[in-house]
Structure 1
Amino acid sequence: MTGLASRRLLAAAILTLGTPLSVPSAWAQAAPAAGYVLPESETWELKSDDGYPYQIFVSRPKDPPPPEGYPVLYVLDGNAMFAGFAETRRILGYMKADLGKTIIVGVGYKTEAAYDVRRIYDFVEDFRQPVPPAQLYLTKYKAGGRAQFAAFLLDRLRPELARRYSIHPHRQALFGHSFGGLFALYMLYNHPGAFHAIVAASPSIFWNDQAILAEERAFAAKLAQGKLQGPVGRLRLVTGELDETAVEHTDAAALAKRLEPLSAYGLRSEFEMFAGETHITVPSRSITSTLRFAFTWP
């Protein structure tokens, strides 16, 4: 059959059907599929005292909680970090591993983006004057809300989690990366007993010309002098060999050395540098080791 004859036959068929614009369903463009929803997870909003709406992501086991409640890991930058931690927990739960019998709580923002500029306000102290030259490009954003964010975690989010789920009041850990890692150090120095384990990944110690060092010295002095009340959380420092800002791994390595003598006064700390990892890949590399460190008990 010639090409012309084929086209005439197709035209006749279409006219016979009486629907010149109709096409077989297989030719039609498929409707967009619904987005993937993480199993064993849920999200809800929780406002801070000043009315800011945080997006809370929760991954929890199907099985009933242990008598003392689930251990909890709080993951900062939840929009970017939660899914990796949640799926690792779920797979471990599928394999009946103890690390799967936990709750992962991502603390995030009402955005589809991986990160939100609100994190600058939440995680770091306000700009020092004069502003360090390396930070000038960030001055268009608001900073200095870390004390308020700490209060949100401890006084708003933690009680709400206890209301919704059965959680262990003492087995609660914190993970933060970059600015979030700096905030994790702030929590250790200023709320040393708030979390039983803290993981600071590639912490931005350079902020404000390393202003956090003053808080570190004050914490170390109080610990050595026996002036801290109650237990002190364990600390794990991780960084990447290829962190784009070299000071993020040199500062972390130096901090690890400074903290070693504090083991004589009760501070348990450890350090790992991941070979071949960049600043943005450190969190993914650290998921399993974070879970092990966070949920080791006591």
Structure 2
Amino acid sequence: MNKWFKFLYLPIFLLFTVGKAQEKLTIGEKHSIFSKVLNENREIWIHLPKTYTDTTINPAKYPVIYLLDGENNFEYFTGLTDFIARTPYADIPECIVVGIKNTERTRDLTPTKSQKKSPVNPTLTLFADSGGSENFVKFIQEELKPFIKKNYRTQEYSVLVGHSFGGLFAINTFLMHPDYFDAYVANDPSLWWDNKVTIARTNDYLEKYKKFPSQKSLYVSQADNEEQQKNWNSDMTQAIEEFKGIVEKNGSLNYKHSFFKGETHGTVSYPGNYEALKFIFKGFRTDIKQLAKNPKLLEEEYKKLSDKLGTEFIPSETYLNVVLKFMKSNDFKEAETYFINLKNKLYPKVR
């Protein structure tokens, strides 16, 4: 009897185990968009915030992050944004993440046509397919953004994130088309490109406009990788430092540079993106305990953030629910009444 029970138990156990294994965790969805500008199909990966489909709250609009090199960065980046946007510890608002998968990476992310010759074969031009960044940014601005806006609930605030050539692309877009995005993230950008053409463009921008736009944000990370000791890529290091010096002399821009000791060119994006998002949205997080003493502080802090970023931000309904629960459980009746009224004002019930 015991042996039969053991044989019978095993298949039943496996049946339930297999059934549970079929449940999937989904972090995004894939779309294919035909670009008339690039004359090719482009694959886009989209991650929606956890509250996007929550039917217990009013439909919200979300900032959009456009992530270059999507196939390399999408999986960790979406988890990162979800983690630092969770209530009540949110350092950033929940965001829609749009990962852009590469087809011809060098073509799309470099601003000029390379004339650099191979050191081992002078007849060979390196990066021969380069110089197509203007077409690529046109695709993003005129085709991809309208697609996202049409199909998703988006707020009028967008961030461009890139690494290496992607960082070069982000800075060049900031210089040539500063209004295309509200914030730019460049992780270990390849500013050595084409005899530091981007450094020249930075000086040209300042000569023409005198200062950078005050409500834009630019974050630049720099890797260590012992590259400076080995002189493996000193041109990159020198170019990033030169760019840093120019920007910091013109303090109107919301700018931050971070050097990550011990990080390589290939790993710096992870800590860089974490610090970048916290930097861009600095002032988003409020101390819930302080709100009990001064309920008006929440609106005051969001007003400061909105003025700094040039876009209106308001407390999410999810966060207000957390605040109300805290006030009620701790018997802060005056504060509770204040936040009930604030929630009704910002998120009126549909009758």
Q: Same fold (TM over 0.5)?
A: yes
* Unaligned ranges ≥5, structure 2: 1-10, 12-17, 283-304, 310-351
The 2-side partners of 1:237 and 1:132 are apart by 29
* 2:167 aligned to which of 181, 186, 189: 181
* Unaligned ranges ≥5, structure 1: 1-24, 26-30, 110-115
**Offset at residue 89 of structure 1 (A):** 2.1
| Pairing of 1:50-65 with structure 2 (within 5 A) | 50-64=38-52
Deviations 1:72-93 (A, max 9, x none): 1111000001111111123345
Which moved further from structure 2: 57-66 or 272-281?
57-66
Deviations 1:192-228 (A, max 9, x none): 121111111111111111122221111111221x7x8
**Higher normalized helix content (fraction of residues):** 2
- Tell me, yes or no, if the aligned pair for 1:175 and 1:200 is still in contact at 8 Å: yes
- Tell me, yes or no, if the aligned pair for 1:40 and 1:90 is still in contact at 8 Å: no
**1:90 is the counterpart of 2:82:** yes
- Tell me, yes or no, if the aligned pair for 1:76 and 1:106 is still in contact at 8 Å: yes
Give the equivalent residue in structure 1 for 2:290. Answer: none
The 2-side partners of 1:135 and 1:175 are apart by 35
**1:237 is the counterpart of 2:230:** no
**Offset at residue 283 of structure 1 (A):** 0.8
Give the equivalent residue in structure 1 for 2:190. Answer: 204
SS in 2 for 1:82: helix
**Offset at residue 46 of structure 1 (A):** 1.5
One-letter identity of the residue aligned with 2:92: L
The 2-side partners of 1:125 and 1:267 are apart by 23
TM-score by length of 1: 0.75
The 2-side partners of 1:89 and 1:262 are apart by 30
**Higher normalized strand content (fraction of residues):** 1
One-letter identity of the residue aligned with 2:264: T
**Offset at residue 98 of structure 1 (A):** 5.5
Task: Sort the Cα spacing of 1:232 and 1:189 in 2 relative to 1 into closer, same or farther, 3 A.
Answer: farther
| Pairing of 1:1-298 with structure 2 (within 5 A) | 39-49=26-36, 50-64=38-52, 69-93=61-85, 95=87, 97=90, 99=92, 101-109=94-102, 118-129=104-115, 131=117, 133=119, 139=126, 141-169=128-156, 171-224=157-210, 233-242=216-225, 243=227, 244-263=232-251, 266-296=252-282, 297=305, 298=309
- Tell me, yes or no, if the aligned pair for 1:192 and 1:232 is still in contact at 8 Å: no
- Give the structure with higher Rg (CA): 1
Task: Sort the Cα spacing of 1:269 and 1:94 in 2 relative to 1 into closer, same or farther, 3 A.
Answer: closer
**Offset at residue 250 of structure 1 (A):** 2.9
**Offset at residue 125 of structure 1 (A):** 2.9
The 2-side partners of 1:222 and 1:134 are apart by 40
**Offset at residue 94 of structure 1 (A):** 5.0
Identity of aligned residues (%): 26
- Tell me, yes or no, if the aligned pair for 2:185 and 2:273 is still in contact at 8 Å: no
Runs of 4+ in structure 1 over 6 Å off: 34-37, 65-68, 134-138
**Offset at residue 152 of structure 1 (A):** 0.8
TM-score by length of 2: 0.64
Give the equivalent residue in structure 2 for 1:20. Answer: none
The 1-side partners of 2:164 and 2:254 are apart by 21
The 2-side partners of 1:83 and 1:218 are apart by 37
SS in 2 for 1:277: coil
The 2-side partners of 1:216 and 1:129 are apart by 21
Deviations 1:53-83 (A, max 9, x none): 2211111113149877201111100000111
